[in-house]
Amino acid sequence: MPSVGTLAFDEFGRPVIILKGQDSKKRLFGIEAHKSHILAGKAVADTLKTSLGPRGMDKCMVSPDGDITITNDGATILSMMHVENEIGKLLVQLSKSQDDEIGDGTTGVVVLAGALLEHAEALLDKGIHPIRIADGYELAAKIALEHLDKIAEAYPLDLAKLDPLVNTAMTTLGSKIVNRCQRQMAEIAVNAIMNVADMERRDVNFELIKVQGKVGGRLEDTLLVKGVVVDKTFSHPQMPKEVRNAKIAILTCPFEPPKPKTKHKLDITNVEDYKKLREYEKEKFTEMIKSIKDSGANLVICQWGFDDEANHLLLSHDLPAVRWVGGPEIELIAIATGGRIVPRFQELTAEKLGHAGHIRELDFGTTSDHMLCIEECKKSNTCTIFVRGGNKMVVEEAKRALHDALCVVRNLVRDNRIVYGGGASEISCAIEVAKEANKIATIEQYAIRAFADALESVPLALAENSGYSPIKTVSDIKAQQIGQNNPRLGIDCLNKGTCDMKEQSVIETLIGKRQQISLATQLVRMILKIDDIRLPGESEE
Amino acid sequence: MQPMIIILKDGTDSAQGKSQVLSNISACQAVAEAIRTTLGPRGMDKLIVDNRGKATISNDGATILKLLEVIHPAARTLVDIAKSQDAEVGDGTTSVVLLTGELLKNARTFIEDGMHPTIIIRAIRKATALAIKKIKEIAVNVKADDAKEHRALLEKCAQTTLSSKLIARQREFFSKMVVDAVLMLDELLPLNMIGIKKVTGGSLEESRIVAGVAFKKTFSYAGFEMQQKKLLKPKIALLNIELELKAERDNAEIRLDNVTEYQKIVDAEWSILYSKLDKLHKAGVKVVLSKLPIGDVATQYFADRDMFCAGRVQEDDLRRTQKACGGAIITTVENLEDQSQQVLGTCEVFEEMQIGSERYNLFSGCPKAKTATMILRGGAEQFIDEVERSLHDAIMIVRRAVKNDSIVAGGGAIEMALSRTLRDYSRTVPGKEQLIIAAYAKSFEIIPRQLCENAGFDATNILNKLRQKHTENNIWFGGDILHEDVSDNLVAAVWEPAVVKINAITAASEAACLILSVDETIKVPKSSAEPSNAAKAMNMD
């Protein structure tokens, strides 16, 4: 029931208008507002529920322009859904911030927040003050986080032995479309990260990893190039397709006679002058070529274009060249090859050249597409993951999946503690939280217990998506966890015959899990704290 | 028949007399009604969506009233006092509006009974003076000599403010942060020297304070990635110069009649830029920040010389950097070398850091660190926005408390004490004023009453207990929200600076007097509404 906005009457009983556009504004107040928020939150969470886990399904979204996206990445789905509702938008932001910070677990965090809201509804019906519910949730979240720290295991991070890392990446990729070649993708992700990781600072610079996709081939053809892949070809068809021991001049100035930036006009009054101009231009070209040759470069990469005349000159001087290379790519090439970006020809010297062992053009099937691949670079800590796939949707989804996997590996590099996936850590936390709940003397006890129930929503959804009877499976595992005091037991989604997630190597990062719980709790607090919602009516325009 | 004399423009709405006063009072009460549930630690938030669809979730009285777009003239007074309270002391905006509403409500019966408004106004003034005198009398001075105790005082004041906000659970953490930030400032405590930066993602506890300056990485050109990202004791130049290759004058045109001149012009342009860069380099500058863009040529030049640069830095960030690191904002690089001592700043460490998904430039260990930057983390954008508003309130309160160390107990305690004093006093007054001062005394009870109501307690019950305690001269007893009881709030460390209360009471009384003294409203109609609308529409096009 939408109640009318603030009303007051004057001495004749006429309503006084206090707020602008008062009649058209909508207002929800008190318990009505809470109910409507919870409903909205639940609706968003329900959409994502079926995407959870290795047996989760994908969503197909069609944008207003008719572009199709198929994905099961929570953050992507939500951002493409164009949620209108204000509370819905908060959930979208929630998954986005999980994506920004951790990169993985974007579905889980929304499902958890949805479950927390759902349980809050029951508590509200009992008459518990919404803030006390929120307080209880925060207490519970604290208990859960402490418990997570306790059950977390430090993970051997050994550069020589990458298997454990690969396993973690595989857990993430398990729920994605690429799980056909899960192992290969996981290895690619791990290798890429290891290539750029700064083990001293325990940091990974993502800008050094580029993920590029090209439709065609199979997913299995996806490869990791330790170097840079540029979607460009040599400027002249007769230039060699392969250069070894390349010395690269990286230019950000065009191959043409330099022009002043100030507006200028050259008055040519006679033929002599015209010829001189011609001479001048030609001279400039040769001068440029000469300065490149003098520096010892045998390959030119240019941010700008050059006309056919310059192109021909380059060819005749045996200088293979690439033109119109974008700014970020220029930068990547410069970092990879240890070269310097040169803004004008006069400054070109031998020290400023970049070095690469092997540069070649990649062909793709029967298409005329080519790409330039710069490998064996001098400072080869940039790398490019080159994704292939049958159609655009698959390539895009594979890119997203790889991004998630990269994030997970990066998080392990930053903090090598892990917890077990498959709902194992959630169940373990739920047990702990429920146990602690009984020790709380105040009303918050109810909220804490509700939090424990909400934590189980993740394993429940996993079991449901895997086709088990959810309640039975989860209660089974819960009993086993308590019986064996083993926090590693989770849902056996893939029917491998064991519930011990350590044996299945289903691993998630501790920071990811912690983030999920604390973000979801924060957001639920925010939603529960709102008791009054005012919406503008139909705009007058 | 006498001709009709038209004095006012046709359509002017005029209302007058007793009934007008009454209707104004109803309007004010309606506004107070709108924000009463936000008061106190169990206060709720409001979600307001404006016409453009931007949602704000807030608990701050001034913010809410601003967004409600109040148009009723008398009710606008309330919005104004909330704003002035916000500007003056930063906190207590909700209480000031509530107090005014309650004062008016209690005055209403007297107006209805035919008492003259001026008598009421006189009595209110008298009561206000008494109340303020009482506050000054009973306010506790905390010894400020001991730095540690002083700090504890500030933290407690900050905590009281934060307890009603979204971050109530983390109030200890944030109160420390706020106090740290304020204490870093110089004597004048300029508010704009505390920068607040928001990064979505991460948990609240990951928020941090930087003793110095931090700002987001600015837009950068190719070559930026090759620059040094960590510098120790760098010399910092703050510029207001464009370091880009461009036309020196926009409207200039160069006329050339000779080809040989051409190259000279080009060289001249380059040398202008290069001489600027050279001068910076020669002066030993390591970090270059500019308000204006820094172009790609300059970026690469700096990269070549292990310098760092950032263009298009926000003005206030630049100013704060200047405050922190010393130096001056330079508009020319001429003579830079000679004056380098005066105009260049420095700091211990400059670093670029990844925070969430953003990259930040951090200057720490600044010699003149009279500035601080808070980097806030949190789940959703609106969440952080509300955290920022809450911290703003806390900062304002701490600033007040630094200058003025007399405090009173919150949680309705001071209001109850004032109420009792005024009630006792009223008994000694002969005449009509007695009634009004008694009513004023009663109005103060709205604060503890509302606190209890918001928490879902039996307000009458708690108030009776409080009155009893106060008659026994326990002047610091107020509501205890956690235990649904009354307690000595001075001991429980629910503290507020006395000046906040004084300001609130003065503002509330003045507003009440103002509204009571109005007996006629003349509302001039919009001059011929139709054409003006059409004109507006035309302007919009």
- For every residue of A417-486, DSSP letters joined together read EEEETTTHHHHHHHHHHHHHHTT--STHHHHHHHHHHHHTHHHHHHHHHTTS-HHHHHHHHHHHHHHHT-
Helical H runs in A10-57? 30-49
3-state secondary structure of B292: coil
How many Cβ atoms are within 10 Å of B82's Cβ, its own excluded? Answer: 28
User: Annotated catalytic, A404?
Assistant: yes
Contact A100 B20 (CB under 8 A): no
**In chain A, where the domains are located:** 27-154+420-534, 227-379
What class has domain B212-248+256-368?
Answer: alpha beta
Question: For chain B, where do the domains classified as CATH 3.50.7.10 start and end?
Answer: 212-248+256-368
> Considering CB atoms only, which of B44, B53, B259 is closest to A530?
B44
Give the integer Cα–Cα distance in Å for B438 and B427. Answer: 8
Which residue's structure tokens are 């010395």? A247
CB B217 within 8 Å of CB B356: no
3-state secondary structure of B484: coil
> Considering CB atoms only, which of A19, A94, A341 is closest to B379?
A94
The secondary structure element, H or E, covering residue B318 is: helix B315-325
Which residue ranges of chain B lie beneath pLDDT 70?
Answer: 1, 11, 143-145, 247-250, 369, 526-541
- For chain A, the maximum distance between any two Cα atoms, rounded to a whole number of angstroms, is 101
Contacts of A525 in chain B (CB under 8 A): 166, 169
Contact A263 B254 (CB under 8 A): yes
Which residue ranges of chain A lie beneath pLDDT 70?
Answer: 1-16, 21-24, 157-160, 365-368, 379-380, 537-541
Contact B203 A10 (CB under 8 A): no
In angstroms, what CA-CA distances link B106 with B112, B436, B441, B519?
11, 8, 10, 18
CB B325 within 8 Å of CB B287: no
Give the integer Cα–Cα distance in Å for A470 and A52. Answer: 14
User: Which residue in chain B is spatially nearest to A91 when comparing CA positions?
Assistant: B380
Structure token pair of residue A116: 């927390």
User: Closest Cα of chain A to B205: distance in Å?
Assistant: 10
- Which of A522, A527, A535 to mutate to test binding with chain B, by most B CBs within 10 Å of its CB? A522
The pLDDT of residue A429: 92
Contacts of B455 in chain A (CB under 8 A): 129
What class has domain A27-154+420-534?
Answer: mainly alpha
The pLDDT of residue B132: 93
Contact B203 A518 (CB under 8 A): yes
Residues of B acting as catalytic residues: 60, 93-94, 393
The pLDDT of residue A270: 81
Helix axis angle, B381-403 to B498-517, nearest 10°: 100
Catalytic, out of A58, A99, A404, A500: A404
Question: For chain B, where do the domains classified as CATH 3.30.260.10 start and end?
Answer: 143-206+380-404
Which residue's structure tokens are 């890429």? A192
Name the DSSP letter for residue B327: -
Contacts of B257 in chain A (CB under 8 A): 266-267, 269
Beta strands B477-480; B194-200: pairing state: unpaired
In Å, how far from its chain's centre is CA B217? 26
Phi, psi torsion values for A318, nearest 5 degrees: 55, 45
CB B413 within 8 Å of CB B397: no
ipTM field: 0.77
CB B394 within 8 Å of CB B174: yes
Stated pTM of the model: 0.81
For domain A227-379, the question of CATH label 3.60.70.12 is answered with no
In angstroms, what CA-CA distances link A372 with A227, A285, A340?
11, 26, 20
Domain spanning B143-206+380-404 has what CATH number? Answer: 3.30.260.10
> Considering CB atoms only, which of B22, B226, B379 is closest to A11?
B22
Give the integer Cα–Cα distance in Å for A254 and A257. Answer: 8
The pLDDT of residue B124: 92
Buried b (16+ CB within 10 A) or exposed e, A263-288: ebeeeeeeeeeeeebeeeeeebbeeb
What class has domain B13-141+408-523?
Answer: mainly alpha
> Considering CB atoms only, which of B20, B169, B222 is closest to A252?
B222
Candidates A295, A392, A306; CA nearest to A340 is A295
